[in-house]
Structure 1
């Protein structure tokens, strides 16, 4: 039974501490849309999305109004388009027509993003996979709401270095294709290792082939709530601190469970998972960096940062799994630079660099996220950054990702503006020593020895 104190406490979290349901994401399988005729394929895709998702936004708004819980985004994830378009698409331009269809459908139903313009190539690329990847710059330039991802590695298969090399080139081409908007196309494209099938968060969301025809996944976020809770633990030991984080994560996840259940019931679509990820925004008081600083760091990036983040991530997961039987997706703490005012301030103060961020990705939910770098950065350097991050994911059996933005025409000391939840970011320096001889080796890096668990 929920008592009066808990009701008041939850209201305070929403009104004063930036608690929100970050996204309701409707996963839609497009496997039954596959057709060898491109026009028919696009027609089927548009019809299925607009039919299944027609009430998604209005349902979310009704739940938001009735329960008083902010639901920031309503989104869609779909079957990786490289699979769906393999039969009909013979050139990159064919895949771009699918991206435009997805964008049109997203606008029709009113969602802010649709994810799944994706390819899964951790062991090798099919012709369809390669065509889709090469189409990404044009697709990101021609659409507003389409997000793209490529999974290039996994613990079980190793890292496809041919795909890593290609993705470095694609990041550069996407930056150039959207240079009039601070290369924002790169903010909608992420390279992953060990990508989950049920991630509700963009830009890496897609509906894996292990999923059903349609599913509701919900992502909850509450950095401000966690920060406010641990403010009460100043001077306390780690046991008290960890208990506080766990209890807070439990309460936040219960809010997501409530919204997920209501959305599932009202839409008549099965509930999938709750993703409890501390996903920051540029707003003051909604920062993962500020949580770490409240734990005891002068600035994020100081010695002890990785340990503090590891503890935070673990306690968030422990609290979340007690609140729902179906916690999935990524779940933990995100560290996107442009979307977190505390991270931005740390970069400007000189305490946080890409190398320290890479160390932090060993223990956070995802990886190097929303990092603006000089537009002159070489494609091989970007591929090297991707390879390093994929190796962390592969060896540590976790999801890792790279979403870097080489902002054309800007250099260290400049600022990139993306707007909305994507925020703004100082251009960060990268190591300019050459890695092209390594990146240009063909083939794949084998899976680590501990992957053999059959």
Structure 2
């Protein structure tokens, strides 16, 4: 438990430095809902979610009141729906019925988002998985709270290029289906390589098949706390800087551990992991980009950005693992452009490009995140971006992801507005040269040689 000094420090971090618990995510297995009839399946899903999650929001709010710790989101993740619906769903429309059920259940229990409209197709696709993937544009256009993810590769299996090609087309179709809202549907869709089973953050959260019947995972954030801490290390060498970041990450993670233990105890559901990810918001003073600039960059994207981010990511993880027995998910530093004020400014000025962001994803905790691109970007180009990012994850044995938003009707120099934590983003240019012949080859890129460690 926290001691009195930690309580005082925590109060200061909350009041002055924008510390928050970004999410309590309740993972729920839906495997016992499986049946032959889609309507019965939907009824089973609705009943289980609304039973297990009925007290989630109230529990989070009670912890907020009692401890004074802001908990921004209460969320649910479920078993990948491609698995749950495989037996009952014969058409894409059957899967759309399920997502409407998920959306209704999420609204009933009052959560912000529900993740798990997902398929894991890193090696190949079953007919049911392909049906779900093809239903995504309609599914996300017709629902509000449900998020979707597709895993297209891993270090062990290689990259499923058939799935990569299909996902480029799906991202494009999702943008068109939500064109009247700056293609917002794409903000609820992420394409992974090496997706983790226990990620509490959206849009990529799902309840992995290695998990139990239910679990509480907590995601903590605190870019403002880290930035304030390292202000005291201006002019100091890297040893001092790294120690400062580690100690701060430890304190932030302790707050998450407290919230997770309390939520677990009150709901009678096992505690899973703490995800210590520096997840920014568009608010001033809550930016990963600002941390990198405080470290010594004139602006994010300048030479040295990748090295600074690598150091930050590593020290955050080192500090976090000492504060909790179970650190997991995607712990590290997120770099979502639309959700980070300093990233937005750097992209607007041209200092930060997609190519530089891709280099940064080699050392951060996820990938190309919340990046708005021109609305006329082709499906093949989107697939090429996905393939590049998946290759980084596959070769480097890390999770990578792509959440790009081709904003229909807008081009470079214009701005897309997403609202809330999703923020706003300048439309960033993409390389206009075609990769269609490469994407159209089909098949699978083999796993790298270092994957054979059995």
Structure 1 length-normalised TM: 0.99
- Deviation sequence 1:277-297 (CA, Å, 0-9, x none): 000000110000000000000
Taking the aligned partners of 1:17 and 1:400, their CA distance within structure 2 comes to 29
Are residues 1:41 and 2:27 paired? no
Taking the aligned partners of 2:111 and 2:311, their CA distance within structure 1 comes to 34
Taking the aligned partners of 1:211 and 1:3, their CA distance within structure 2 comes to 32
* Alignment map for 1:12-411 (pairs within 5 Å): 12-411=12-411
1:438 is aligned to 438
Helix, strand or coil: the match of 1:143? Answer: coil
Structure 2 gap ranges (5+):
none
Taking the aligned partners of 2:404 and 2:6, their CA distance within structure 1 comes to 41
1:8 is aligned to 8
Taking the aligned partners of 2:83 and 2:65, their CA distance within structure 1 comes to 38
Shift of 1:7: 2.2
Helix, strand or coil: the match of 2:405? Answer: strand
Helix, strand or coil: the match of 1:413? Answer: coil
Shift of 1:4: 4.0
Taking the aligned partners of 2:226 and 2:425, their CA distance within structure 1 comes to 24
Shift of 1:230: 0.1
Taking the aligned partners of 1:422 and 1:444, their CA distance within structure 2 comes to 33
User: CA RMSD, aligned part only?
Assistant: 0.7
- Deviation sequence 1:392-419 (CA, Å, 0-9, x none): 0000000000000000000001000000
Taking the aligned partners of 2:4 and 2:156, their CA distance within structure 1 comes to 49
2:423 is aligned to 423
- Deviation sequence 1:181-239 (CA, Å, 0-9, x none): 00000000000000000000000000010000000000000000000000000000000
Taking the aligned partners of 1:418 and 1:450, their CA distance within structure 2 comes to 40
Q: Contact conserved, 2:2 with 2:254, CA < 8 A, in 1?
A: no
Taking the aligned partners of 1:354 and 1:404, their CA distance within structure 2 comes to 10
Taking the aligned partners of 1:93 and 1:282, their CA distance within structure 2 comes to 36
Shift of 1:382: 0.2
Taking the aligned partners of 1:348 and 1:123, their CA distance within structure 2 comes to 38
Taking the aligned partners of 1:272 and 1:219, their CA distance within structure 2 comes to 11
Taking the aligned partners of 2:122 and 2:363, their CA distance within structure 1 comes to 22
Helix, strand or coil: the match of 1:441? Answer: coil
Taking the aligned partners of 1:99 and 1:432, their CA distance within structure 2 comes to 35
Shift of 1:349: 1.5
Taking the aligned partners of 2:35 and 2:281, their CA distance within structure 1 comes to 40
Shift of 1:5: 3.5
> Structure 1 pair 148/67, CA: closer, same or farther in 2 (3 Å)?
same
Taking the aligned partners of 2:445 and 2:11, their CA distance within structure 1 comes to 50
Helix, strand or coil: the match of 1:338? Answer: helix
Q: Contact conserved, 2:28 with 2:49, CA < 8 A, in 1?
A: yes
Taking the aligned partners of 1:22 and 1:336, their CA distance within structure 2 comes to 15
Taking the aligned partners of 1:330 and 1:161, their CA distance within structure 2 comes to 24
Structure 1 gap ranges (5+):
none
Structure 2 length-normalised TM: 0.99
Shift of 1:2: 5.1
